[in-house]
Structure 1
Amino acid sequence: RMFSTIDTHDFETKVNQAVKFLQGGDKLKVSVRFRKRAIAHPELGSELLDRFKEAVSEAGTVDKPAKMEGRSIVMFVSPKAAK
């Protein structure tokens, strides 16, 4: 779970943890929560999930694309099949 105003280092930490989980064979549910008036700019959350998708593209693929659910945007990522 991330917030729409996440800092660069925090984002990199989340990506590293996600890659570790994907390499272990686990699926991920990635969500971006919006606080207070940040809900007025959902494009920021979409851009954040696009960056996340690019960062974990070596270890996983997107099962379900980003979708707005209440005050958050949710995306599901599964590990790539072992070759």
Structure 2
Amino acid sequence: MNQEIFAQEVRLIDENGEMMGVMPPREALAIAENRGLDLIEIAPNAKPPTCKIMDYGKWKYENKKKEKVAKKKQTVISIKEVQLRPRTEQHDLDVKMRHARRFLIEGDKVKLNLRFSGREMAHQELGLQLLKDVSKGLEDVAVVEVPPKMEGRQMFVLMAPDPAKIKDYLKANKDIAPKVSEPKAPEVKAPEAKAE
């Protein structure tokens, strides 16, 4: 910015976005000062570097505003892990599926992780069937992103939320929707009128 530009020549753009040509930075700075504005290097890696005449405060504010808008549009998708065992009982399996469904409805990916120990490694087909059953049970809100895959002593499936399926699921289960998708707001009591 201004005196901090050390290139031999710069390509100058005026405040209206029109190209003014290639010139020494001293000359470009003099033009900017005559107009009561700053000389800002916008493309330092270009040959020659590109500078623009503009109000530095306004430029900084607009950049900050653009970054804020870009940050708002970003969505962070995390991967939630649900641990299973080949001999997980049915009730525990139902609870874990409920948790996985809640994670998917909230927009997170779910990794169903089945861990084998000792002799269970000899019966990997049982684990595979369990993962297929659980992922099939969650297909009403998700799609399988990575099919069952073995990694060491673990087998896993990665499921991603499907917005269209989630919308249909929430429509069909209106009584479940408030419990799963959003926390309930605390009830506020109205102040009682005093009898006089």
Using the size of structure 1 for normalisation, the TM-score is: 0.95
Match of 1:28 in 2: 110
Match of 2:144 in 1: 62
Match of 2:189 in 1: none
Of 37, 44, 62 in structure 1, the residue corresponding to residue 126 of structure 2 is: 44
Is the partner of 2:88 in helix, strand or coil?
coil
Structure 2 unmatched runs, 5+: 1-82, 168-196
Pair 1:73 & 2:160 matched: no
After superposition, give the CA deviation of every residue in 1:17-74 in whole Å (9 maximum; x if it has no partner). 0000000000011110011110001001100011101110111110000001000101
Of 1, 11, 15 in structure 1, the residue corresponding to residue 97 of structure 2 is: 15
Flag the structure with higher strand content: 1
Pair 1:2 & 2:95 matched: no
Is the partner of 2:163 in helix, strand or coil?
coil
Is the partner of 1:66 in helix, strand or coil?
strand
Give the Cα–Cα distance (whole angstroms) in 1 for the partners of residues 89 and 149 of structure 2.
Answer: 22
Q: Which runs of 4+ in 1 moved over 6 A?
A: none
Give the Cα–Cα distance (whole angstroms) in 2 for the partners of residues 30 and 52 of structure 1.
Answer: 8
Using the size of structure 2 for normalisation, the TM-score is: 0.41
Which protein has the larger Cα radius of gyration, Structure 1 or Structure 2? 2
Aligned length: 83
Q: State the structure with bigger RCO (CA 8 A, min sep 6), 1 or 2.
A: 1
Is the partner of 1:4 in helix, strand or coil?
coil
Structure 1 unmatched runs, 5+: none
Letter paired with 2:89 = D
